[in-house]
Amino acid sequence: AQSVSQHNHHVILSEAASLELGCNYSYGGTVNLFWYVQYPGQHLQLLLKYFSGDPLVKGIKGFEAEFIKSKFSFNLRKPSVQWSDTAEYFCAVLLNSGYALNFGKGTSLLVTP
């Protein structure tokens, strides 16, 4: 079955640590890739997206993600996390032939002071 997998369900980091959240998808065709973030008590917001071109995508708040087609991956990274990055992060995939996003199960990130 086609799916989006996020490897880590819960991540705890200290401030200033580096972050990498894994995302893999199993679709064979052309895809558009997204990372969304949900801060506590807030609605889902787009963090960054990849449609085509440079596989290294920069988003808001210092986040970036790299699309590696051969690995079907779109991992999210940030060199130095802050307490305010505590949130739930969702990877999502849109098939070129599709009309709605398919989401991973999410990764809950807790950044401790």
Partner 1 sequence: DGGITQSPKYLFRKEGQNVTLSCEQNLNHDAMYWYRQDPGQGLRLIYYSQIVNDFQKGDIAEGYSVSREKKESFPLTVTSAQKNPTAFYLCASSILGDSPLHFGNGTRLTVT
CA angle 41, 5, 93 (to 5 degrees): 75
Cα atoms found within 13 Å of the Cα of residue 72, Cβ hemisphere only = 14
In this chain, which of 74, 90, 93, 109 binds partner 1, going by CB under 8 A?
Answer: 90
Q: Which of 32, 16, 25 is nearest to 80 (CA)?
A: 16
Find the binding residues for partner 1 in span 24-63 (CB under 8 A). Answer: 32, 34, 36, 42-46, 49, 51
Q: How far is CA 79 from CA 8, 15, 48, 89, in A?
A: 18, 11, 16, 16
Interacting residue with partner 1 among 57, 74, 93, 104 (CB under 8 A): 104
Look at residues 91, 92, 83 and name the one whose alpha carbon lies nearest to residue 113: 83
Applying CB under 8 A, the span of 11-19, 55-63, 72-80, 100-108 interacting with partner 1 comes to: 100-108
What binding mask, one character per residue, do residues 67-86 give for partner 1 by CB under 8 A, x or -?
--------------------
Which chain residues interact with partner 1 by CB under 8 A? 4, 6, 9, 32, 34, 36, 42-46, 49, 51, 90, 92, 94, 96, 99-106
